[in-house]
Each structure stands twice: as C-alpha cells, then as structure tokens.
Amino acid sequence: MIKLVINSMKKNIKYDISIPEKSEYFKLFVSTGWNEDYNMTADELISTLKNSWFCVSAYDQNTLIGFGRILSDGLLHAMIFDMIVLPEYQYKGIGNEILKRLLEKCKKQKIRDIQLFSAKGKMDFYKKNGFVARPIDAQGMEIKNKY
C-alpha cells in the first residue's frame, strides 16, 4: 500500500532545469535550517542560483519541493551544492532523481572530478549514489564568514 502511494507521488513530481521563483526557493532553503548560520535574504539566495552552472528543481504541482545545483569550470571540477528536499517529501526518491540528473549533466560534459559537502547524517545517501569519502589525510577545509 505505501509503495503505491510513493509511486503515484513520483509520477506527479515534475523536474525542471530553470531557476525557481525567489520566494519558493527561499522557503525551501529555510526548511533546511542552514539559514540560521548563513542569514541570507531571498535576493541574495536567488543571486547564488544565477551564478550556478546547472540546476535541477523538483515540483509537486506548483510547489518547489526539491532542488540541487552545480558550480563548475565545465571540464575538470564540479561541486554539488544545496541538495534540498522538503522534509515531508524526503525518502520518496526525489533527492535520488535530482542527484541523478546533476550527475548526468557532469557525465555528459565529461567532468573528471565531482565533489560535494554532505549535511550531517546524509553521507549514506551519497555513498549509495557512488560518492566516496575523502581520505582522512586529504580533508577539505573551509572558512565561514557571518555578515
């Protein structure tokens, strides 16, 4: 019974490569809790999307329920950012479909190195999709600024 509900839901989900509407994306981004650290406005967030190499949005009717994007030099490196699915839509294959479409774009362009940061507790999702953790002695680094 549950499987039928999930399958019918998947059929209703539409995927698009255009940038989502600003207020819809802001609402989706805020659902992650990330904005507590970043303190981004809707205008700032939509600007980040305009500078992306490739985006995938997931919609249920006219509601943005999922998103993922890539920054890339178009040949050697690609970095996946902002993989988001609204909590009530998680574990229904939507994140898998978004990630699949992002990876297909990279493969089509023959990107050699695809990287991402994993949110806490989400590493297994990425491992199931072919990603491997960087070795302990090759960890990445970052600086987070608050404005």
**3: confidence class by pLDDT, cuts 50, 70, 90:** very low
- Whole-prediction pTM value? 0.85
26-29 own/partner pairs: CB under 8 Å, 24+ apart: 27/64, 28/64, 28/65, 28/66, 28/67, 28/84, 28/86, 29/82, 29/84
Instruction: Clarify whether 126 is annotated catalytic.
Output: yes
Q: pLDDT tens across 117-131, in order?
A: 888 888 899 999 999
The residue that leads in pLDDT, 138 or 81, is 81
Which residues have CB under 8 Å from 118's CB, separation 6+?
A: 125, 126
Q: Measured between alpha carbons, how far is 41 from 62 in angstroms, rounded to an integer?
A: 22
Q: pLDDT tens across 8-35, in order?
A: 456 799 999 999 999 999 999 999 999 9
Q: Active site residue: 89, 91, 126, 147, which one?
A: 126
Residue with tokens 């199931």: 128
Q: Where are the domains of the chain?
A: 2-129
**136: confidence class by pLDDT, cuts 50, 70, 90:** confident
CATH number for 2-129: choose from 3.40.980.10, 3.40.630.30, 2.60.40.1180, 3.40.50.300.
3.40.630.30
